[in-house]
Amino acid sequence: MDIKEIQEQLITRHRDFIHDLRPLNEAEFSYAPEGKWNAGQQADHIRMSVKPLNQALMLPAFVIRTLFGKANRPSRSYDELVDRYRQKLSAGGRAPARFQPKGCSYGKRVALARSLMKQVDGVAGKAGRFSESDLDTLILPHPLLGKVTLREMLYFTIYHVGHHGEQVKSNLAKRS
């Protein structure tokens, strides 16, 4: 994907996620099987994971390069990145404590959705400041995947929201 498609996918996938949460009633929004996150927690986790990327993209390329170095390999494709993430999850990988959601009450769901989209809009806009070359040479740390290129981090962000959207749907399907 080039930067324009990445930007479009970031916005579209996150809007779709929020759109899918909108019709949930309070019981559905708050429901989760034992040991799983409810819809509000899923949304809060997504917001918490997008926020540091939004902050990192405020930095100029030379600062990112100075802080984290540069890639020593080509960027993985979207599918390769998704496969690597799934492998990490299968091996027991979980969100670190700082990305563990505390919860979101039903009454705060609209504010959470606005906050999430503000972060996503920021990421999409700021990503456009970087060249295609920057996307493949700048690296950022990911808590589960290690050092990834900026392109891979954006791919992850696109996939991640859909992954959690599917978890919400799966949890609700198990509801008795």
Q: Is pLDDT at 174 greater than 90 in this prediction?
A: no
Please give the pLDDT value at position 55.
Answer: 97
Alpha-carbon gap, residue 103 to 108, rounded angstroms: 10
Alpha-carbon gap, residue 94 to 75, rounded angstroms: 23
pLDDT grade, residue 176 (50/70/90)?
A: low
**Considering the entire predicted model, what is its pTM?**
0.95
For the chain, the 3-state helix, strand and coil shares in percent, each to the nearest 5, are 65, 5, 25
Alpha-carbon gap, residue 54 to 66, rounded angstroms: 18
What would be the CATH architecture of the domain defined by 3-173?
A: Up-down Bundle (1.20)
pLDDT tens-place string over residues 79-118: 999 999 999 999 999 999 999 998 789 999 999 999 999 9
* Domain spans in the chain, listed from the N-terminal domain onward: 3-173
Q: What's phi and psi for 141, nearest 5 deg?
A: -80, 135
The fraction of the chain above a pLDDT of 90, given in percent, is 95
Please give the pLDDT value at position 107.
Answer: 94
pLDDT tens-place string over residues 116-131: 999 999 999 999 999 9
